[in-house]
């Protein structure tokens, strides 16, 4: 007899609207879970000078959590500044959504600049705006064959590579090379069904997942769907890392939930110019960060994120000493 698909059962439970599911078992919904523990035994005594320009808080105040039932799974609870959240949300909407990055809307349109097109008439075309569901950066994920190739590859955004490098270093997951990303755009009724991410040659390198905007229930199971998954709440700014035993586990997003906090609207402070050495980013990125302080620059992006969730999912594709596929 086939064993029951408990992953699907939980997915359906959290997806349903009528009656609404209980959120009592959702980890991180409140702060009282005893299974949480601080990941790093040794507190960070030094900051990484790149944090500010990447829109991150000082490493010494980061809170990273591990879960005894899910070895290798780590959540860093919103290490972003309010301005940092605005910067990354805007990057996903205005820049990562442009061709030649690959997008789900490419089947219907050849236009390059989706975000500007949404505002072509002066006001937002919501119907068109909601059509964008994903873009891929770097090595493009092939949704049909699930195979990466050298022929389908773009330039990986340098600022996103640097963000991952800082997070990887913080967790001691070095060296990590960001080579492929999927940006997922969710609306309030969107879901992402159960899957494992196994297309990369390098399945030992961790997977970094950045969430912005509205919240999500994230289901994390094991290597088989017959094992019941745990439900985690991911809020804006949270970074989830699937490493080691968790790297190839089934996961899914059955539900988007209205955010109870909007950290992108907290007090914004400008990033100061400094002489820090940036591996990937350029000095102009400081003004790109600071322009989002102005309400008129930020308003349209805020309207989008008030009803959507964005997830950036970053992977290393190649082995450490491999140059091409």
Ligand X SMILES: O=C(O)CCC(=O)C(=O)O
Q: Which residues pair with 234 in a beta bridge?
A: 216
User: Binder to ligand X among 52, 165, 179, 197 (CB under 6 A)?
Assistant: 197
Does the footprint of ligand X cover residue 76 (CB under 6 A)?
no
Q: Which residue, 50 or 225, has its beta carbon nearer to ligand X?
A: 225
Measured between alpha carbons, how far is 145 from 107 in angstroms, rounded to an integer?
17
Asked if 197 touches Fe ion (CB under 5 A), the answer is yes
CB of 184 to ligand X, least distance (A): 5
* 251, 257, 264, 298: residue in contact with ligand X (rule CB under 6 A): 251
Contact between 89 and 305 under an 8 Å Cβ cutoff? The reply is yes
In the complex, which residue's CB is closest to Fe ion?
197
User: Of 292 and 313, which CB lies nearer to ligand X in the complex structure?
Assistant: 313
Other C-beta atoms closer than 10 Å to the C-beta of 96 total: 22
> Do 68 and 245 touch, CB atoms closer than 8 A?
no
Kindly state the DSSP code that residue 217 receives in the 8-state scheme.
Answer: E
Helix, strand, coil percent content, the chain, rounded in steps of 5: 25, 20, 50
Q: In the complex, what is the shortest distance from the CB of residue 322 to ligand X, in angstroms, rounded to a whole number?
A: 22
The answer to whether 195 is annotated as binding is yes
Binding segment toward ligand X, per CB under 6 A, in 58-66, 198-206, 210-218, 259-267: 210-218
**One of 81, 101, 135, 209 touching ligand X (CB under 6 A):** 209
Tell me: is residue 2 an annotated ligand-binding position: no
Which tokens is 115 given? 């975000």
How many positions of this chain bind ligand X (CB under 6 A)?
12
Q: Is 69 annotated as contributing to ligand binding?
A: no
Crossing angle, helix 295-305 and helix 82-90, to 10 degrees?
70
The b-or-e profile of 261-299 (16+ CB within 10 A means b, else e) is eebbeeebeebeeeeeeeebbeeebbebbbebeeeeebe
Q: Which is nearer to ligand X, 167 or 182 (CB)?
A: 182
Helices (H), 91-198: 114-118, 126-129, 158-171
Task: Report if residue 200 touches Fe ion, rule: CB under 5 A.
Answer: no
Complex with Fe ion: residue 55 or 221, whichever CB lies closer? 221
> Using CB under 5 A as the criterion, which residues of the chain lie in contact with Fe ion when the complex forms?
197
Residue numbering of the annotated binding site for Fe cation = 195, 197, 251
> Using CB under 6 A as the criterion, which residues of the chain lie in contact with ligand X when the complex forms?
182, 184, 192, 197, 209, 211, 216, 218, 251, 253, 311, 313
């Amino acid at each position: 007899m086939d064993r029951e698909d408990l992953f699907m059962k939980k997915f359906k439970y959290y997806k349903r609207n009528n009656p609404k599911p209980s959120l009592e078992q959702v980890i991180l919904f409140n702060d009282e879970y005893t299974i949480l523990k601080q990941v790093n035994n040794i507190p960070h005594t030094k900051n990484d000078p790149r944090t500010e320009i990447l829109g991150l808080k000082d490493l010494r105040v980061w809170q990273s959590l591990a879960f005894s039932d899910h070895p290798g799974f780590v959540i860093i609870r919103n290490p972003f500044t309010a301005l940092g959240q605005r910067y990354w949300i805007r990057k996903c909407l205005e820049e990562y959504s442009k061709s030649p990055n690959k997008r789900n809307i490419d089947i219907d349109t050849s236009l390059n600049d989706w975000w500007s097109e949404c505002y072509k008439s002066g006001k937002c075309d919501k119907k068109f705006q909601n059509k964008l569901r994903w873009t891929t950066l770097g090595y493009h994920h092939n949704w049909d064959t699930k195979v990466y190739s050298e022929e389908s590859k773009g330039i990986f955004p340098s600022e996103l590579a640097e963000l991952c490098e800082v997070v990887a270093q913080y967790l001691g997951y070095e060296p990590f090379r960001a080579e492929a990303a999927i940006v997922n755009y969710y609306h309030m009724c969107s879901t992402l069904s159960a899957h494992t991410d196994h297309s990369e040659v390098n399945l030992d390198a961790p997977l970094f997942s950045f969430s912005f905007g509205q919240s999500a229930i994230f289901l994390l199971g094991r290597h088989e769907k017959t094992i019941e998954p745990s439900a985690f709440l991911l809020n804006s700014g949270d970074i989830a890392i699937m490493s080691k035993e968790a790297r190839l586990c089934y996961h899914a997003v059955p539900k988007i939930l209205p955010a109870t906090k909007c950290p992108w609207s907290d007090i914004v402070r400008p990033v100061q110019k400094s002489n820090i050495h940036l591996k990937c980013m350029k000095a102009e990125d400081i003004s790109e960060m600071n322009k989002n302080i102005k309400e008129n620059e930020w308003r349209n992006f805020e309207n989008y994120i008030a009803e959507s969730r964005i997830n950036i999912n970053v992977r290393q594709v190649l082995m450490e000493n491999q140059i091409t596929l």
